[in-house]
Every structure is written in C-alpha cells, then in structure tokens.
Chains A and B, each alone.
Chain A
Amino acid sequence: MTGTLGGALLVLAIALPLGATLLAFVHGGQAASRVARGALWLWLALAVAIMAAVIRQGEPISYQIGGFAPPIGIALAADGLAAAMLLAAAIILVAAGLFGRAAYPAPSWDKGGRAAFAYWCLLPALAASLAVAFLARDLFSLFVALEMLTFTALALACLDGRPSQFKAELRYLLFALLGSVLYLLGCALFYGAYGTLDIGLLAGNTRADAPTRLAGALMTVGLLAKMAVFPLHLWLPPAHAGAPPAGSALLSGLVVKGAFVLLVRLWFWVLPGPPVAGAELLATLGAAAILVGSVVALRQEKLKALIAYSTVAQIGYLFLMFPLLMAGDPDAATRAWMGGMLQATSHALAKAAMFLAAGLIVQSIGEDRVAGLCGAARATPFSVLAIGIGGLSLMGVPPSGGFTAKWMLLRASVDTGQWWWSLVILAGGLLTGGYVYRLVAAALSPAPEGATPRPVPRVQEAAVLVLALLSMVLGLLPLSMLGMAQIGQPVMAP
C-alpha cells in the first residue's frame, strides 16, 4: 500500500491535466480545445472526489510516488487547505474553458490561430501546475511547481501578443525568477541541514539555527516576490491589467494563490517554533498592501488596472492570519486559519469573475475607462451584476465568502488582543466599497446618445455570473462544512 484510501486520486489530479497538455500540444487544431475542455471537467470531478474523500476520512489523504516513503521518495497529500484550493481552481478553470470557447474558438496553424492554440495548451498546463503546488509535500517538488506556474503565467499574460505587454511581462519574469532562485537556495540549505525536503519529516524537527533561519527568510522573500506583496507588488498591476481577460482572471485569481499555499506550508509546517516577530512583519506588509492597494485602486482610470490594484490589496488580507495563528489561542487560531482559507478561495472566485466580466464589458461597449462605463449595465447586465457581487465579496458584505473570511479574521484579531489588525480590515472594507461603488455607479448610469453596444455570447456571461455567485455561496455554507478547511490544520504551540 503506497498511501491512504483515495491516494491515487492525487496522482490523477496531476497526471490528467499534464497528459491533456501534452496531447493538446502534439495534436493541435480543434482537438486541442476539446481535449483541454474535457480534461478540465474531469479535473473538476477529481477535485470534488478528493474533497469528498478528505471530508469522509476526516484526515488528509496521501500517496507515496513509486512506493518509496520519504525521505528517499516523494509524498503527495491533500488536507483541507489543498482540497479547498484544488476545488476552487477547478471551478475557475472550467469557467475559463467555457469562456474560452467563444474567446478562442479556432486553434490552428494559420494566421489567427496562435492565441487559441496557446490558450488550450495553457489551461490544462496551469491545472497541472496548481495540482502539484497544492498536493506535493516536498520542498523541491514544490519548486518544480513554481517553475511550471511561472512559464504558464508568462505565456497566459502575453496571449494578446502586444509588444507593450512583453515589457510588463519581462518585469514579472525578473521578479519571478529572482523568487525562484531565492526559494531554491533555501531548499539547498534545508537539505544540507536536515537531509530531507519532505514537509512531513521536517515538521516539528527543525532547529532555530542560522541555516534554517536564513533558508526560511530567503524562501519567504522569494514567495513574497511571486505573490506581489507590498512593496514587491510593482510588477503585478501592469502584468495583470494588460493580459487578456481570461489571462488576468487566472493570474489574479489562481497563480498568486499557488505561491500563497507554499508560504503557508513553509511557515506553519517547516519553520521551527512560531516565528512571531516574522509573522507580525508579514502582517504589517499585508496591512500596508490593503491600504496602499485600495487607495491606488480608488484612483485608477482604467477598469482592469483598478481590478488589478484590488488584487494587491486583497492579497494583503491573506497575511493577517499569520500573527493571529501564532497568538496561542486555539479558538482564535482556528478562526484565523478558516478566515485565511476563505479569503484565498473567495477572492479567487470573485476576482476571476470580475476580470472576466470586465473583459466582456470592454468587448461590448468598446471602452475601458471607468468613466466611460455608462450604459454597461444595459449592454451587459450579467457582467455588471457579476462585478457587483464579486465586489460585495471583496468588501466583506454579508452574506458572501469574503464577509465570512473577514469576519473570522476580525474576530480572531479581537480575541487575541491584536485589535489594530481589525482597524485595517475595516478600513480596507470601506476603501474597497469606494472603488466597487465607482465601478457599479458608472456602469448603471445611462448610455450616451447613439451608443451601439455589441452583444456578447450568453455562455460567457453565464460562466462569469456563476463564478461570482459561487464566491457569494461560500458565505452561506454552514460552519460545519467550512470546518473541512481545518482537516490537517497545523497545531501551533503557544
């Protein structure tokens, strides 16, 4: 037996999209689109099955590759965190598949077939990369996942083939590669110090010595660069705002979350003791990201730039959970953990919906300035609705996933006496309300005389609205179901 019951599902969650990528690449043409879409639906089914298996067993499911146990082999595992992220990723990628049927209809080798071929290779490639990032339990395998994510993200962002975008992406590439190098240096130090890179074996066995501290610091900085945490956020807005809508949705919604999961694994499993001072520094950066990102978003002229700065701010919330988890209060720690997980998944769904909706609005009314959105609500009602619903989730208005996330973080910060974080959460919510209001108010104002909006495909609008609604539904789930996020939650010693 090389793992727990259901462990083979973890292998399939990686092998299926990987095989689909290779087949789509070799075959090309219309088959590439069909293979990718079919694989993504199957991947969604696998993600549901993994979620069900984790909930049913009440503990993480795992698998040992090739029958070799760590430290010599590599283990895969799905805990509540991995299962939830995998399911959110699968939902968003299936939606991107539906969206792409109209946006990238005809992959071919003739002129005009380029973006479509790349898109249908990239969707399953991104699925495979995320599956490795969420499921692998080995620091080096996770490095490979980071590399896979970098290549797919880069190509997704350049899908339009505009030279101006290449410049933004070159900056992203420099940040991402610097992050990879720092992460890899940390891996080498960990191997030199402990003779293993398996997270399960490292957990609870690391020492607070110079190599471990330096490795932790290097890997953290590397991952922060990849997540575009303030003040390393400069690459994100141009890279995400300039990408085509489906690219922006996947980059903002999913790719940054891959690095986030790695950071959580590093901090709560690998690093010795609770590094409280470091966690407070992370949360301070997160708080700065919330305030600066939101204020800058408020002032943006362009629709997609506004949404991209909103990503900088929303990523900030993810860091507030770090000191709250380490305060030594088990109830508050559980709330902080669930708040972080909900923030990661609800932001993924809401942000993907908003970027896709923004793309549809721009396509319909041919205007990408916030001030020029008048009439959008009549031209593309579902898209504007999706932006509104997604915006409510970002603001933290009940009943939405974002509300529950922010409420839990707020409770945890009050319970642990770290009330200053709750001020940041409330201020961030108000500022978010400001920029979401700007979008919705502009979209609801009457269309100018003689405007002739182009119709957009119904299936695209439906996919976008479903994503936004799901980010809302997360807030309606009973607490007992959200409790699955706690399966495998690390126990922090006070």
Chain B
Amino acid sequence: MTAWLLDLPLALGMFGAGAATLAARSLFGAVLGFISTGLIAALVWVRLEAPDVALTEAVIGAAATSVIILYVASRISGGASAPAPPPIAQRLLAATLSVILAALLAHALHALPDPAPSLAAPILETMAPTGLGNPVTAVLMVQRSLDTLLESAVLVFAVFAIWSMAPERRWGRAPGPAFIAEPQGPLTFLAKVLPPIGIVIGIYIAWVGADAPGGKFQGGTVLAAMWVLPWIAGLIAPPSISDMRLRLAIAAGPLVFLMVGLAGFAVADGFLAYPPGFAKPLILLIETAMTLSVAAALACMIAGPPERRAQP
C-alpha cells in the first residue's frame, strides 16, 4: 500500500537528476548529475529486488564511469567551462526524438505479457550440479558463459584500442600522466588509509559472488579504484606498457577462461562445459583471474594511453 512512498521519490529523483545533468552549465556539474542518476538507478534496482544489478550499477555505472568522465573533463578544460552548446534546432530535434522514443517505450512496456516469461526455473534446475549459490553468477559462468568470455575479451580489446591512440613518441611508456605527491595533503592521507580496507572489500565482493550478490566485475572495479586512488595521489606509478606482467594481468582472465573452455572438449561435454564435480573450483579459478584482469583493465582504461616514462 505504501510502496509508492518509496517509489515516487525514486522516480522523481531519476527525472530530476537526469534533468540536472542536461541543464548543467559546467562539465563538472553535468558529471555530478550523472553520478546522482547512477546512484538513484542503483536504488531503483534494489527496490526491484535485483541486488546484483544494483551493485553493478553503483560500482560501474555510477562510480567507475564517473571517474573516467571526471578525469577526462578535468584534462580537457580544467572542468571550468563547458563547450559551446549545440544549436537550438539540434537540441530541439534531440529532445523531440527522445520524448517520442520514451512514449513508444512506455507504450510497449505496458503491452508486454504479464507475468513476464521467465527462465528462472530451468536456470535454478541446471545450476544445481555446479554448487553455485548465486543464480546470477550461474547464468554468467555456466549457461551463458560464452557471452561472459567475449565480454571479458572486449575489455582487452578496449585496452589495446586505447593504447594504440598514443602519440608515436610516447609509445612504450607508462599509461597516464604523472601526479605530484603532496605528503601532507588530504588525498595522500586517503590514499594511504583506504586501499588496505578497499582491497579486502574488493576481494570479498569478488569471492562472495559465487553464492551471494557480487562477483568479478564489481570486485575488480573496487580493486581498480584502490589502485587509482594512490596513483592520483602520486604515491605509486603504473608500469610501462612494455612490461609483460602488466599485459598478462590484463589478459589473464579471458586466457584462463578460454583455456578452461577448450579443456571442456577433452574432459567434459564440450566447449565451456565443466566436468562433474569440478565446476565450482574451475569457476572460482576463472573468477580469480577475471577479477585481476577487470581491475588491471579498468585501471588502464582510466589512466589512458601511454604518456610518461616509467619510474625506475
């Protein structure tokens, strides 16, 4: 009965945050609006009883993406001035198209079958032999493992696409700019205090994913943040892209995933099939490698193309 008390503010909040993002006068203002939209969206997912999606939305949609945008905004203009807005006709056209699309989507959503067709029952049935407790992880790692494997490869594609945009003279150096440490600054303090806690939390989120909301993408993102913080504080420096250990860390996840998948031809029913009784340990092995790779790839994406010489 009182559900609307929760839902109405969330719905209005989504609209408000979206409008604030569009109306913002500065890049930083727009990024703040974007972060709020993402956080409210995460709450909406909680309300819809989809904690895995909520966690992903908060960690990747709101946090990681915002860090990247914020960082880019600060690099292109110091964040002070926004670029000139597009002409009014173009904005009107975009607004009209968006409103029409929203109306059509609303109409279509109302015409969807109710109750919605669901695969929950067969998923729960087929996940039983794997020993996993979290059906979301089961879908990602068992029934639809091919998509997850390919998505993890997309991260590697993205990293080498970003690296390949480096200026020729900076090729082979370390990703991103150098930051100067301020020994007494608040950022330095944060960068020293937070990572020990954050690393434990990141590993926990990745580990618990087998049985509860969480998993490699969310955990890996937290780990990436725990690297980015001391990097921005000037306390640590990334290795150069010519360091094979860095590239191995980025590609380890999909490599291990692919090898386990191919081994399925020999020891199980085929590609990406797990031998009976070994499903959970194999999935944990893949998830461990993937957590490392997600963290390394995201950190590299935030840092950007190679820019400076690695410190000895």
Binding site for B on A (CB under 8 A): 2-3, 8, 11, 15, 18-19, 21-22, 25-28, 63-68, 71-74, 108-115, 117-118, 121-122, 125, 128, 132, 136, 138, 140-141, 144-145, 147-148, 151-152, 154-155, 158-159, 161, 166, 185, 189, 192-196, 209-211, 214-215
Contacts and interface: CB of A to CB of B under 8 A. Distances in A.
**Across the A-B interface, the 3 shortest Cβ-Cβ residue pairs:** A195-B117, A109-B242, A118-B164
A155 B119 contact: no
A18 B153 contact: yes
B111 interface: yes
A63 B171 contact: no
B47 interface: no
Contact of A151 (B144, B157, B254, B272): B157
B144 to A, nearest CB: 6
Tell me the dominant secondary structure on chain B's binding face: helix
> Interface residue tally of chain B, by bracket?
35 or more
Nearest to A189: B108
A361 B104 CA distance: 51
Interface string B72-116: 000000000000000000000000000000001101110111001
A118 B163 contact: yes
Interface in B139-169: 142-147, 150-151, 153-154, 156-158, 160-161, 163-169
Nearest to B259: A19
Interface stretch (B7-15, B49-57, B244-252): B244-252
Contacts of B104: 214
Tell me the dominant secondary structure on chain A's binding face: helix
B150 A118 contact: no
Contact of A211 (B109, B150, B156): B109
Contacts of B255: 19, 22, 26
Contact of A196 (B119, B126, B254): B119
B184 interface: no
Interface in B272-298: 272-274
Given A18-B254, A22-B258, A72 B241 contact: no
B126 A109 contact: no
A72 B117 contact: no
Nearest to B172: A109
A155 B251 contact: no
Nearest to B161: A155
Which of B153, B157, B240, B264 gathers most chain A CB within 10 Å?
B157
Given A192-B116, A195-B117, A67 B164 contact: no
A323 B27 CA distance: 47
A37 to B, nearest CB: 18
A66 B157 contact: no
B183 interface: no
B2 interface: no
B122 interface: yes
B119 A195 contact: yes
Contact of B172 (A26, A27, A110): A110
Contacts, number: 184
Contact of A66 (B156, B242, B248, B264): B264
Nearest to A140: B147
6 contacts: A18-B254, A22-B153, A67-B269, A113-B171, A185-B105, A214-B105
B304 interface: no
B209 interface: no
A118 B273 CA distance: 33
B270 interface: yes
Contacts of B126: 68, 72
Contact of B273 (A2, A74, A114, A154): A2
Contacts of A74: 143-144, 146-147
B111 A141 contact: no
A66 B109 CA distance: 33
Nearest to A149: B157
A22 B250 CA distance: 9
A11 B145 CA distance: 13
B270 A8 contact: yes
B261 interface: yes
Nearest to B167: A161
A211 B157 contact: no
A440 B195 CA distance: 65
Nearest to A213: B108
A193 B113 contact: yes
Contacts of A108: 172
B122 to A, nearest CB: 5
Contact of A117 (B108, B150, B164, B270): B164
A73 B119 contact: no
Contact of A148 (B109, B154, B242): B154
A128 B118 CA distance: 31
